[in-house]
Each structure stands twice: as C-alpha cells, then as structure tokens.
Amino acid sequence: MPKQIILAAHFPGVNNTTVWSDPRAGSQIDFGSFEYLARTAERGLFDFFFLAEGLRLREQRGLIHDLDVVGRPDTLTVLTALAAVTTHLGLAGTLNATYHEPYELARQLATLDHLSGGRAAWNVVTSPGAFFGENFRRGGFLDHADRYVRAGEFIQAARTLWDSDGGDFHIQSSQFDIKGRFGVPRSPQGHPVILQAGDSDGGRELAARHSDAIFSRHHQLADAQEFYRDVKGRLASYGRLPDSLKIIPGVSYVLGDSDADAQEKAHHIRRQQVSPQTAILLLEQLWNRDLSAYDPEGPLPSADPLLDEDETIVKGRAGMYPDRLKTAAEWRARAEAKNLSIRDLIIEVTGRQNFIGTASSVAASLNEYVQTDACDGFILVPHLTPAGLDDFVDQVVPLLQERGVFRTSYEATTLRGNLGLA
C-alpha cells in the first residue's frame, strides 16, 4: 500500500500570504470564519485544523506592522469552540513554551482533549527573543540559547502531568520545580499530539526526541528530502521508529483549468500578496535597514544589508535570512539579469506558491512528495479567508482518494488514531 497523505488546514495567518484586499476575503476574527474553514476541512476528511500564534503584534521600523492582517483570536479558546461544531477534525494550536507554565497549559490542553473527544494538538514554539517578554511577568527572562532547554523540559513536564491521571506529581528540572496533584483525569488521547516548528539543530533535536510531528518550512523537493532524512535519522538514538515522527511542511497551492490558467492566477495572487508598500517592507527584512525612500517600481538599493542581528528591523518574527549578503547578491543578480523592479523581484523570490497547476497535476505532485519521502503530508495555507480551501476539497481530495493515498472516511475518532500514531 502506498504511503497515506496527511492533510491539515492552516487558518490564514498574519503575514502577506493572506490576501485581505480581495473582495471575497472575509473576517479574520469572526467565529464564523473559523467555523467555515474547519467545516470545510472536515468535509475534506482532513487530519487537523491549525492555528499559528504570536504573543505580540509584529513591528517594523519600530512601528506596528500595518500592511498584513493584524490580530487573531486566542488559540485555545477558539479551538475549544471549534470542538462544538466539528466531530473528527484534529484541533492544533501553536503555543509558546517560554511564556506559559506547565501546570496551567497541560491542564488546558488536557481540557481541550476531553472536550473534543481526543482531538487536541500542541505546536510547541519558542520565542524570538525578549520582544514578546514585554507582555509578560518575567519579561525576556530566557536566553536564546536556552529556548529548547525550557521547551524540552516543558514537554516532559506536561507528559508527566498527563501520565499522572489526576494523581500526585513532583517535577524538578532546571526550569521547573512544581508538585501536587494534577486535576485532570487521563484524556482520550492520553497525550495530545505534539508538533514542533523550529528549524535549528536544537529544534530538530527537540522534535526527534519529543514530538509527534514537525511543521516544517522545507518545500523544495530535494531540500525537503534532505530535511526528512536528517530528522528521521535522528530518531534511532531516542529509540524511536521513523514512522513515529510525521514531517508536514506548510505549503500553498493554486488550481487552474489548465497549467497556463493556474500560472496566470498564481501571478495575480502574488501581485495581491505583494503590494508596492509590502514589497519595500519585505526587502527591508533582508536588507535590515529603512528603505522607505525607495521606489517599489525602481531598482534595488546599491548599499549592502546591515548585519546587526541583535537590532533587526523586524520584531516578532523568526529570522529568515541566515546569510544576508549571500541572499542579497543572489537577488541583485536576478534583478539585473531580468531587469526586475523591487516589487517584481520580491514577487519572484518570496513566498511563491508551492504547487501550481490543474487539480490533477497538483494531486500528482503532492503524492510524489509523499511517496519520495520529501514529507508525510501537508499543512495547506490558503490565501483567502474563509473559503480558500473550497477548491482543494472539491477538486484535489477526490483525486488523492482515487489514487488510494488519502482516506475516504475517518479511521478513528482521535487525532492520534487518524495520524496513525501510537
């Protein structure tokens, strides 16, 4: 039997993938939008629904970023409400290990697992520095280098609490010293599903040791295969089998009646995603300097990026450019070769859709990724709220089912069961 594909629905987030300027774009905060997308995902027999989270509004040049969607509901609260309007769909929330405490969060996740009949999942993220800390009691208390020390101990503490089945516990580690009785009996999944979304060596190690799935950003075929080999290769030293860790990149797609039609749509969406103002802001994220005086329809700056990684121009978002000079040189070469303006270049080099084509070519590509071990499935990131996955569910899901690589009914009532995790 071929590998079965995991599918998840990412609620459109607070970055420029989400097109709010389209007349069809609905509310980013009304519960109705969340319910619509969750019901769509469940109609498509998806494994889970996914929410990202950031604990402070992003800033650029010291000002609240105003060009992308801003603001979203609290993760656990909205997922628990979604449990009321869905029956099989997993409910995955991103929650920060730095600015929560194990007893409280383990109790909330176990509550969600009970109140959803075993559908809770936690995407464990760490924090990009002290910026978030200004909203919390302890401020920026944790060294960047210790982010995975705390995250690892946090997951272990949560697992100890979940295993205590309402009994006594005593947890002592470098980050935590807590004891007492955990007030939640064993939840339907025992342990909610754990996802991890860090990409550094520390993040990969944490995933190999503690998590059930990775939300990755590797989506070029060869790069994704390399990531897959790397992370799965780390499992043996923790006594784990390759199948016990699922690799699920976040991807976007565009469907068309023909490949040309899909390409045209994709380009139109990219122009919506990269407004002239957004083009300058995205360029600043690499250049790390104020470029507000530049014309988005003009050429790239001649000066090089600033390399001060302690004072980045963007706050509240993980760094995306490990080697600024190298990337800038690549962008310059490309812009010169094709005579591209700043905006045209940004449209080409950032966030291009991963799968573009007819429903059948997209279905074939997705399947190729999974069968050639580039990943185990996909977290689909639509660009429109809330109807952005309608076409996928209506057109691509049936083709995956025909190929025998996607379920035709839910196998289990719990998320663990549907993901085939122990």
Partner 1 sequence: MTLHVAVALTGSSFDASRWVDQIRRADEAGIDFATFDDTFGRSGPDAVLVASRVAPLTRSIGLVPVATTTRTEPFHLSTALATLDHVSHGRAGWQVRISADPAEAELLGRRAPLGVDDLISEAADAVEVVRRLWDSWQDDAIIKDVPTGRYIDRDRLHYIDFTGEHFTVKGPSIVPRPPQGQPVIAALAHAAQIWDRLDVDVYFTTPSDVDSAATIVRQIRAHGRTDKLVFADLVVFLAGDQETAIRRRAATTSDAAVFAGTPEQLAGLIAGWEPSGISGIRLRPGDDEHDLTAITRDLIPLLRERGLFTPSAEPDLRTRLGLPAAVNRYEGAARA
Ligand X SMILES: Cc1cc2nc3c(=O)[nH]c(=O)nc-3n(C[C@H](O)[C@H](O)[C@H](O)COP(=O)(O)O)c2cc1C
Among 83, 340, 345, 399, binds partner 1 (CB under 8 A): 83
Pick out residues in 76-95 that bind ligand X (CB under 6 A): 94
Contact 153, 52 (CB under 8 A): no
In the complex with partner 1, which residue's Cβ is closer, 58 or 204?
Answer: 58
The one segment of 131-139, 225-233, 241-249, 370-378 that binds partner 1 by CB under 8 A: 131-139
The one segment of 50-58, 74-82, 162-170, 323-331 that binds ligand X by CB under 6 A: 50-58
217 binds ligand X (CB under 6 A): yes
Among 2, 24, 84, 163, binds partner 1 (CB under 8 A): 84
Residue 66 interaction partner, one of ligand X, partner 1, none, beta carbon < 5-8 Å per kind: partner 1
Among 9, 41, 45, 52, binds ligand X (CB under 6 A): 52
Distances 238 to 36, 163, 207, 209, 244 between C-alpha atoms, Å: 40, 20, 11, 6, 11
270-274 — which CB contacts under 8 Å span 24+ positions?
270/347, 270/351, 270/352, 270/353, 271/347, 272/19, 272/21, 272/22, 272/383, 273/16, 273/17, 273/19, 273/347, 273/351, 273/383, 274/16, 274/343, 274/346, 274/347, 274/350
88 binds partner 1 (CB under 8 A): no
The one segment of 46-54, 174-182, 259-267, 301-309 that binds ligand X by CB under 6 A: 46-54
Backbone angles phi, psi at 260, to 5 degrees: -65, -40
In the complex with partner 1, which residue's Cβ is closer, 67 or 235?
Answer: 67
- Tokens for 72? 């979203």
Among 90, 202, 351, 382, binds ligand X (CB under 6 A): 202
In the complex with partner 1, which residue's Cβ is closer, 7 or 91?
Answer: 91
d(CA 121, CA 246): 13
d(CA 47, CA 88): 8
Which parts of this chain interact with ligand X (CB under 6 A)? Answer: 52-54, 94, 96, 125-126, 197-200, 202-203, 215, 217, 250, 318
